[in-house]
Amino acid sequence: MTLNPNLANLQPEAQWYRDDTRLFDSKVRAVNSSGISKPSRMSDPIAAMDPTELERLHAKKLGGKLDVVSYNDEVEAEGKPPGPPSGIHVCEIDRTYVVLSWEGPKYYGKTVEGSQEISCVVDEKSGDIILSFESCQLDESSQFIWKKDYKEITNFSKGLTIKTEGSHSKLIFKNPDKEDIGTYSVSVTNTSGVSSSYTVSAEELDKMLALSYDIRHPIIPLKSELAYKILERGRMRFWLQAEEISSNVTYKFFANNKELSGADGKIFEDAINKLSQLAGASAEELVIKCTATGIQLQCRMKYYTSEMNITWFHGESRLAHSEKIVIGGTPAMATMEVVEPTDKDKGLYSIVITNSENSHKRTLDLSGDAYEKAYAEFQKLKAEAYAEKNRGKVVGGLPDVVTIMEKKTLSLTCTVCGDPKPQVSWLKNGADVEPDDQYVVSIDQGKFASLTIK
């Protein structure tokens, strides 16, 4: 801005420049055109008037000493340029120069009752950045005109979208980036100048871009760790469970840091071979674990699956799964059980875990004192299991509460079972009931027990 004061009446002339071209975004300072004295300090960048609407400017007296440029809000226009500088102060004045200071102009446009300012948000689901404006003053022919730096937006090649529904219009940034910094304005045609503006600063855009990225690339909370299961015909299934997942999710699986891209038998073989290597290297010594059905040998290891190349031996004989020899395991242990063992099952047992590079072997001598102790434990567990299965028990019949009427006989009956036939005793208040003339105890067919109270 150049102030050309006439030293007689101090009437300045105002012009806006940027790089010697009249524009509306400028830095401003005041100088004396006669070259007397130093110019004022350069102002911060401010938005000035659109040069195409200079007729809307008029001079305004400031303290009776100086004319300054201001904005004539009575002149209507289809798009509202920014308003006048605010907070103008005369810092210093003399016969030959004047120093002014002011704040950058704000874009007020023409608002009416019920109209809203432009709001800027990041959509919580899509991550899009959205500028939104609502106007209560419009008719059927009204249109929302969006501008960037006061030039109408016509290029929608980078995902910029305008969506208008009724009195509500949105400017949507589907692919926001640093180029979207600037001042955005919207005006409504065929109204009394309804308009508003919003400046997207570099700092604000950085925050919105970070939030948009987090929304579009969320860290999905998991309910379970990655698990696997060996299926028929050499197939392997991996799975995990997430808290919530959308239909747009993408995922990739990797084996040995190599992305899997479809059914590949070689990949399955490599996975099983890798598991076999880890299992063999971590395999512990064989231990005896007796059950109610036989003597079981266990080998703990980091991983186990029946698809691994694992072989059990009795002496030099290779064992196969059967009713007599049960081969199996858990995800961290291989097992082999000799069902109903006899003296023929004594001897040296071994397990061999083989992979493409080497093999690992563990052995145990199931004979002598080791066999005798294991066999005795098996017999004990077998008897306990049989007793538990066939122990005598009441299976129903007794009511929770009964009423005894005076001079009447009460009969309580329940059903019992067991092998051999169970012995039945009755309790009253925790003490045994002794049969006598008043209490008569009986059992019918070995399963119907009765107590008659006279």
Please state, in angstroms and rounded to a whole number, the distance separating the CA atoms of residues 354 and 448. 61
Residue 335 half-sphere exposure, CB side, CA atoms within 13 Å? 17
Examine residue 11 and state whether it is found in any structural domain, yes or no.
Answer: no
Do 188 and 242 lie in one domain? The reply is no
Do 162 and 251 lie in one domain? The reply is no
Do 126 and 155 lie in one domain? The reply is yes
Domain boundary among 103, 127, 157: 103
Examine residue 403 and state whether it is found in any structural domain, yes or no.
Answer: yes
Examine residue 12 and state whether it is found in any structural domain, yes or no.
Answer: no
Phi, psi of 452 (to 5 degrees): -105, 125
Determine which helix (DSSP H) or strand (DSSP E) holds 67, and give its type and residue range. Answer: strand 66-71
Do 329 and 364 lie in one domain? The reply is yes
Please state, in angstroms and rounded to a whole number, the distance separating the CA atoms of residues 254 and 261. 9
Do 280 and 375 lie in one domain? The reply is yes
Do 136 and 239 lie in one domain? The reply is no
Q: Which of 234, 300, 233, 238 is nearest to 273 (CA)?
A: 234
The 10s digit of each residue's pLDDT in 302-332 is 888 888 899 999 999 999 999 999 999 998 8
**Full domain range(s) for residue 442:** 394-453
Do 316 and 353 lie in one domain? The reply is yes
Do 351 and 416 lie in one domain? The reply is no
CB 405 within 8 A of CB 411: no
Do 86 and 187 lie in one domain? The reply is no
Do 309 and 253 lie in one domain? The reply is no
| pLDDT of amino acid 161 | 92
Do 204 and 301 lie in one domain? The reply is no
Examine residue 146 and state whether it is found in any structural domain, yes or no.
Answer: yes
| pLDDT of amino acid 448 | 83
Residue 288 or residue 217, greater confidence: 288
Please state, in angstroms and rounded to a whole number, the distance separating the CA atoms of residues 340 and 292. 9
Most confident of 235-239, 245-249, 310-314: 310-314
Examine residue 90 and state whether it is found in any structural domain, yes or no.
Answer: yes
Do 209 and 231 lie in one domain? The reply is no
Cβ neighbours of residue 10 under 8 Å, at least 6 residues apart? 65, 66, 98
| pLDDT of amino acid 22 | 44
Q: Which of 231, 166, 178, 237 is nearest to 202 (CA)?
A: 178
| pLDDT of amino acid 72 | 42
The 10s digit of each residue's pLDDT in 89-122 is 666 666 565 666 665 554 444 444 545 689 999 9
Domain boundary among 42, 72, 103: 103
Residue 194 or residue 37, greater confidence: 194
Examine residue 140 and state whether it is found in any structural domain, yes or no.
Answer: yes
Examine residue 256 and state whether it is found in any structural domain, yes or no.
Answer: yes
Please state, in angstroms and rounded to a whole number, the distance separating the CA atoms of residues 359 and 307. 16
Amino acid at 82: P
Structure tokens at 425: 């005793």
Compute CA distances 165 → 142, 157, 168, 169, whole Å. 12, 22, 5, 6
- Mean pLDDT for the stretch of residues 165-177: 92
Return the CATH number at 319.
2.60.40.10
Please state, in angstroms and rounded to a whole number, the distance separating the CA atoms of residues 227 and 238. 6
On average, the pLDDT of the chain sits at 76
Examine residue 110 and state whether it is found in any structural domain, yes or no.
Answer: no
The beta strand positions in 331-438, using DSSP E, are 333-339, 347-354, 359-366, 393-396, 410-417, 427-428, 431-432
Give the chain's domain count: 5
- DSSP secondary structure code for residue 54 in this structure: G
